[in-house]
Amino acid sequence: MKTIRITALKQVEHHDLMERLENTLEQPCTIQVGQTWICHDLLMPEGFCLSAWQTIYPFAMTLAYGGEDIYSGWMKNRKSVLLSCNDGFRPVSFYVEAIE
């Protein structure tokens, strides 16, 4: 099984939607752009967002077990994917890649 590296590349905040639709959060997302996590044995990295992990996990599993080219030629690195978490108010884009 390959090790997986997850890197937070970008975060967008939709303030208009937050003001209109979101209740104030006690603990909003703490992920910072540039953070990197190493995932061994498909275990969620310490300090990682559970909601983001639920989105990433199926792709990480595919890559960890040798899957490639998940998006049929879209990614330059065949052993990677670009995903966003499911937070519609402040989504984070993650680069997920299998590493040796």
Rounded Cα gap, residues 30 and 58, in angstroms: 23
- What does pLDDT average to over the chain? 93
Domain span holding position 38: 3-99
At 68, the pLDDT band (50, 70, 90 cuts) reads very high
Q: How many domains does the chain have?
A: 1
- Residue 81 scores a pLDDT above 90: yes
Main-chain dihedrals φ then ψ at residue 19, nearest 5 degrees: -65, -40
pTM for this predicted structure: 0.90
Measure the CA angle with vertex 14, ends 9 and 19; round to 5°.
Answer: 145
pLDDT at 26: 75
pLDDT at 47: 85
